Amino acid sequence: MKPFTYERATSPAAAAAAVAQRPGAKFIAGGTNLLDLMKLEIEAPDHLIDVQDLKLDQVEETDDGGLRIGALVSNTALSAHPRVRRDYGVLSRAIVAGASGQLRNKATTAGNLLQRTRCPYFYDTNQPCNKRRPGSGCAAIGGYSRQLGVIGTSASCIATYPGDMAVALRVLDATVETVDAAGLTRSIPIAEFHRLWGTTPHIETNLARGELITGVTLPKPIGGQHFYHKVRDRASYAFALVSVAAVVQPDGTGRVAIGGIAPKPWRVEAAEAAMPQGARAVATRLLADAKPTQDNAFKIPLTERTLASVLAQAKA
């Protein structure tokens, strides 16, 4: 690990300003992803701004009946919160499906959104990787790509966004709240938070340099039955090959987003109109532009089958 300096931030705007002013600086909170990346020298910040004292660890009711989740609320606390369990079950289930109990105790809401891909070549510093070193190439294209993306990928990168929580947030139409170095706040719809890779896979979100996530807002509850089905290679502590977050209403309409297949939680609102017709009709529209590799073509039928299982459970 490369040497670095460290400070504890005293306010969100001061933290944002500190990172904005220093190119090698990064925020740290739970550190469940960043520290691993630093040990491998995939991330090598020369200065860490610890935001854990910023009192962003509350879940509060909003005026319209929704919830505002502080950026530092732990994954464990959020998944167990009574309002989340009652009104946003898809979110609670998605969080519990991720990582391990120890990691969820330490991981934060903001950090979960910002976790980086688990493409094996991204972690192997002997391999070319446009995400780790822009312009160096992509070892996964033409390499082993079983876990990688089938849609929304590019000629520069075929990795996936690895998280579970954000897939549920996409179904719930959450909004990410931020503050920048000037103290200005903004709200970013979750649909616009993560980027497709294009030619710049090292830029993963639409956050500006130094912009700090302060919270996530959920709109008022939409009712319905909530599901998060995650298919993976072992029963726990594994990333999704395919995951389905869905809210299904009594008349068979609803919302669905897919994890494990794209650079961001994959939701196509126009496809949801086909939910009453069944999983094949939805999956055909959701995955119309898919470009799987030979190794990961199985994710196309797996998506349809996982969605079929959700819709059958909803019907039952």
* By the rule CB under 6 A, 69 interacts with ligand SF4: no
Provide the mask over 12-41, with x wherever binding to ligand SF4 is found by CB under 6 A and - wherever it is not: ------------------------------
Residue 73 identity: V
The answer to whether 128 touches 136, Cβ cutoff 8 Å, is: yes
Q: Which of 58, 55, 60, 93 lies closest to 77, judged by CA?
A: 58
In the region spanning residues 138 to 167, those forming contacts with ligand SF4, defined by CB under 6 A, are 138-140, 148, 157-159
Provide the mask over 88-117, with x wherever binding to ligand SF4 is found by CB under 6 A and - wherever it is not: -----------------------------x
> Please, which residue, 79 or 145, has the CB nearer to ligand SF4?
145
How many Cα atoms occupy the beta-carbon half-sphere of 89 within 13 Å? 12
CA pseudo-torsion sign 265, 269, 272, 274? negative
> Please, which residue, 114 or 129, has the CB nearer to ligand SF4?
129
DSSP state for residue 195 in the 8-state scheme: P
> Please, which residue, 3 or 142, has the CB nearer to ligand SF4?
142
Burial zone of 191 (CB within 10 Å; 0-12 exposed, 13-18 middle, 19+ buried): middle
The tokens of 7 are what?
């400070």
Q: Please identify which residue in 119, 151, 176, 241 interacts with ligand SF4, judged by CB under 6 A.
A: 119
Residue 57 identity: D
For the chain, give percent helix, strand, coil, nearest 5. 30, 20, 50
8-16, 99-107, 121-129, 233-241 -> range binding ligand SF4 (CB under 6 A): 121-129
10 Å Cβ neighbour count for 212? 27
d(CA 140, CA 128): 9
Smallest distance from ligand SF4 to CB 138, Å: 3
How many Cα atoms occupy the beta-carbon half-sphere of 71 within 13 Å? 24
> Please, which residue, 156 or 243, has the CB nearer to ligand SF4?
156
> Please, which residue, 4 or 123, has the CB nearer to ligand SF4?
123
Smallest distance from ligand SF4 to CB 101, Å: 28
> Please, which residue, 125 or 277, has the CB nearer to ligand SF4?
125
Using CB under 6 A as the criterion, which residues of the chain lie in contact with ligand SF4 when the complex forms?
117, 119, 121-122, 129-131, 138-140, 148, 157-159, 201
